[in-house]
Structure 1
Amino acid sequence: MVDAEPSPAKFRELMLDEEPDLREVLACVFNIQRHEAKTYETLLEFPGSTVEELAAELDRDRSNVNRSLSTLREKGLATRERRLLDGGGHVYQYSPTPLPEARELMHETLDAWAEYVHNRIDEFGERE
């Protein structure tokens, strides 16, 4: 299972929003920051980007973008590939998990969370 737990606080916010966007839903379901969700959205637009390219596109520091990408990889929302450079050395390129797969991850994560909550509800009163 992917390392993801919905945030109860973000879930409450999401329920109050009449039309939450992808960024808000990602932040809630995967318990990530909004800037990390924005990084995912940017990767959807520019797959195969490097940290430097994403930092320029997002107007954020490279170290912050690198941390966002690490989080996205941990949550199963991005992958990294090493590309060799013609002059020697290498660079990492990042790609998003395709949106249909990300949607499936969101469903699986929420289903697992709902099952956990249902099990907790069923346990109430059993220990008395």
Structure 2
Amino acid sequence: MVDSIHEMIRASFRCEDMVKCVLGLKALDIEAYKVLLMHGSTTTDRLGEILNRERSTAYRSLQNLITCGIVYRETKSIETGGHYYEYTAIELWEMKQIVKKNVDEWYCQMNEMVDKLDDKICALILRMDNEKTQI
């Protein structure tokens, strides 16, 4: 995994790496998303089995995926009473739109910061010049 944008631009990285970076996910979260895409809606227990992980680990990944908006949870009723939750991944094209939106927002924020960089540098130079003249 690359540690900076500079490295990412020059390194060979996969789409998965970019999605993890943009959405703040871990490798297991991406694996869980893929499982949901391939197998359809499932429970935490079943996801844990498929991923060969503890139920609690699968649950944490599902919570991460829900938080970034690429998985949703539905309550299902049991005929004899009670309920359980099923988790469903949004379609790939929808996830792509979320990633693109996040990248676009980040790009705009970074451009605004770069535009302000001249003012910050000028202020820093002026302050350093003032400190030199006071010495």
Deviation readout 1:50-105 (Å, 9 max, x if unpaired)? 00110000001100110111110010010000000122111100000111100011
Unaligned runs of 5+ in 1: 1-7
Residue 12 of structure 1, CA deviation: 5.2
| Residue 67 (structure 1) aligned to one of 60, 70, 86 | 60
Distance 1:42-1:11 versus aligned 2 partners, 3 A rule: farther
Q: Given residue 108 of structure 2, which amino acid in structure 1 is its aligned partner?
A: E
Larger RCO, structures 1/2 (Cα 8 Å, 6+ apart): 1
* Runs of 4 or more consecutive aligned structure 1 residues displaced over 2 Å after TM superposition: 8-15
Aligned length: 119
Distance 1:30-1:61 versus aligned 2 partners, 3 A rule: same
3-state DSSP of counterpart to 1:9: coil
TM-score by length of 1: 0.85
Q: Corresponding residue for 2:12?
A: 17
Are the equivalent residues in 2 in contact too, given 1:39–1:68 (CA < 8 A)?
yes
Deviation readout 1:3-24 (Å, 9 max, x if unpaired)? xxxxx83655643125x14x32
Larger Rg: 2
**1:1-128 equivalences in 2 (<5 Å):** 9=3, 11=5, 14-15=8-9, 16-17=11-12, 20-21=14-15, 23-127=16-120, 128=123
Q: 1 or 2, which has the higher helix percentage?
A: 2
TM-score by length of 2: 0.81
Unaligned runs of 5+ in 2: 124-135
